Amino acid sequence: MSFSQGLSGLSAAGQDLDVIGNNISNSSTVGFKSSSISFADVYANANIGIGVRVASVNQNFSTGSVTNTGNEYDMAIDGQNGLFRLVDTNGNILYSRNGQFHKDENNNIVNSTGQILTGYIGGPSSTTLGPLTVPQVNIPPSATANITLATNLDANAPLISAAGRAEVLGSVTLTPTLTGVPNPQAYYTVSSSGAYSWVDSAGNPVAAPADGTYTSGAGVPVTLAGGQITSGSFDTTVAPDTTYVSPLPATPFNPNNPDSYTHPLPISVYDSLGNPHQLTAYFVKTADDPGLSNAWNLYYQMDGRPVDIPAGGGPAVLTFDSAGNLTSNPKITIGVTQPGTTASPAAPLTVTMNLAGTTQYGGGFSPNFVTDGYPTGEFSNVTIGSDGKITANYTNGETQALGYVALANFNNMEGLKPAGDSAWMESATSGQPILGRPGTNGLATLKGQAVEASNVDLSQELVNMIIAQRTYQANAQAIKTQDQVMQSLIQMN
């Protein structure tokens, strides 16, 4: 036995205690990864070993527990594969599992040592790496360009006539039997003496149907001469020969007169400067269309003034078939040349309103609309997605993607060189970093407002400490025994 064996054992046990002590001291360090020590025996040119040496200090990259913090910039790597990519003030690239971040004076997302978190900046598919920063300017406004509106217009709503309508007692579809004789939808009134007078759907006098023999809608042969029946008669018991159109007063559209429209619908829109405006659509079940009851006029005003498109505010005409389906073009263009004010001039506002799906059934008015466009908004906070997407939230309810956190993985994680502050550096034995977004390429996902605790197992470390202490004591005893043997030899001389 030589002193070298005991001395090497003391040194190895001491280093083991150093590793254990370092683990215990960092048991509360966020993102810390514990280490363990490996030993190897030492042989010279003999069959008996001359001691022990430290072969390596191994890092344990197992996942620590994830703890919620509530800090909006904190983030935890929720899985074993992945390290945050950081840049220090000298431009060195570092890697860490410590997700305690905050915003610095330059609006960069940094850790407690000032190292900047990096990620993919630009569009969703960007591969450009750069510092992740938090915006401080307002999000630009967006002018309203589209309104999607689907509603039911009440088929039983009272008719409204802009010019007024006289009483019409009946209408009949006359089918000609004479070549060249027109086939009109004829409206008529009958005097007390039985004389027929011919009118349009509004009750205005028109020329009588041409003389000739017709077949009415009820299949009755009718001969007309001078606008009067000379043979046959209208069968007033069979439709459509029994139509009665009641008189209506003249009620031209006026937004201040609720009797001049059927349904008003206010909609908030925004101009190019983000100024809010109220666009109001007025639906009028009109009696002034030849279809009588299947047409609606649609007027528009913005901020109490008629829009420029349609000219003078309208009307645009909506028509429906007998099943209540919209038959006219569902898209209507609305335009205002100058939606702003003298002090705040804005760009011309053009909005497309899409009424696809609008119906005319016997039911209430039930509008459901979606608009785009929004005013400017101030930065409020950020949220961090499991895919690493950092999203800025604004006071106007809008959001904006700031970028994606970049994670790095290595072929040999244990080959990373510790750099202090719970960070590592790339080394020749670790290999080059394999970068990607969280949740891709085998990388772990992220959890926002949380951090990963140290993976130190205190119970195990305390047991390891006892073992290392016993090892140290045993090697010390070996040295003491060797010393006693040497003393005996000296005394024999």
54 and 117, same structural domain?
Answer: no
Residue of 312, 354, 318, 319 whose CA lies nearest to 333: 354
337 and 262, same structural domain?
Answer: yes
The residue ranges of the chain whose pLDDT is under 70 are 1-2, 171, 173, 177-185, 192, 201-202, 217-218, 235-245, 289-293, 493
Residue given tokens 């459509």 in the structure block: 240
Within-domain flag for 220:
yes
Within-domain flag for 101:
yes
327 and 275, same structural domain?
Answer: yes
By the 8 A CB rule, do 488 and 15 touch? no
148: tokens are 């999607």
400 and 419, same structural domain?
Answer: yes
- Bridge partners, residue 49, by sequence: 43
Amino acid at residue number 482? Q
CATH number where 337 lies: 2.60.98.20
By the 8 A CB rule, do 423 and 98 touch? yes
92 and 180, same structural domain?
Answer: no
Residue of 379, 377, 378, 400 whose CA lies nearest to 389: 400
pLDDT score at 13:
87
By the 8 A CB rule, do 162 and 254 touch? no
Give every CB contact of residue 341 below 8 A, 6+ residues apart in sequence: none
482 and 446, same structural domain?
Answer: no
Terminal CA-CA length for the chain: 20
Within-domain flag for 273:
yes
Query: Model-level pTM greater than 0.85?
Result: no
Give every CB contact of residue 336 below 8 A, 6+ residues apart in sequence: 302, 307, 308, 309, 348, 349
280 and 135, same structural domain?
Answer: no
pLDDT score at 113:
93
Alpha carbon distance 425, 414 (integer Å): 11
Residues in the chain: 493
pLDDT score at 41:
87
49-59/221-225 β-pairing: unpaired
pLDDT score at 149:
96
As a three-state string, the secondary structure of the chain is CCHHHHHHHHHHHHHHHHHHHHHHHCCCCCCCCCEEEEEEEEECCCCCEEEEEEEEEEECCCCCCEEECCCCCCEEEECCCCEEEEECCCCCEEEECCCCCEECCCCEEECCCCCEEEEECCCCCCCCEEECECCCCCECCECCCEEEEECECCCCCCCEECCCECCECEEEECEECCCCCCCCEEEEEECCCCCEEEECCCCCECCCCCCEEEECCCCCEEEEECCEEEECCCCCCCCCCCCCECCECECCCCCCCHHHCCEEEEEEEECCCCCEEEEEEEEEEECCCCCCCCEEEEEEEECCEECCECHHHCCEEEEECCCCEECCCCEEEEEECCCCCCCCCCCCEEEEEECCCCECCCCCCCCEEEECCECCECEEEEEECCCCEEEEEECCCCEEEEEEECEEECCCHHHCEEEECCEEECCCCCCCCEEECCCCCCCCEEEECEEECCCCCHHHHHHHHHHHHHHHHHHHHHHHHHHHHHHHHHHHC
What b-and-e string marks burial along 214-247, b requiring 16 or more CB atoms within 10 Å of the CB? bebbbeeebebeeeeeeeeebbeeeeebbbebee
Residue 338 lies in domain: 146-161+248-371
352 and 299, same structural domain?
Answer: yes
Alpha carbon distance 189, 167 (integer Å): 8
pLDDT score at 143:
96
Please tell me the total count of domains within the chain.
4
Within-domain flag for 133:
yes
Within-domain flag for 22:
yes
365 and 335, same structural domain?
Answer: yes
pLDDT score at 165:
76
pLDDT score at 261:
97
By the 8 A CB rule, do 295 and 315 touch? no
Within-domain flag for 241:
no
70 and 200, same structural domain?
Answer: no
pLDDT score at 242:
58
Of 371, 402, 418, the position where a domain reaches its end is 371
Give every CB contact of residue 470 below 8 A, 6+ residues apart in sequence: none
Dihedral sign from CA coordinates of 89, 90, 91, 94: negative
Within-domain flag for 239:
no
The Cβ of residue 483 has, within 10 Å, a number of other Cβ atoms equal to 12
284 and 157, same structural domain?
Answer: yes
37 and 85, same structural domain?
Answer: no
Within-domain flag for 295:
yes
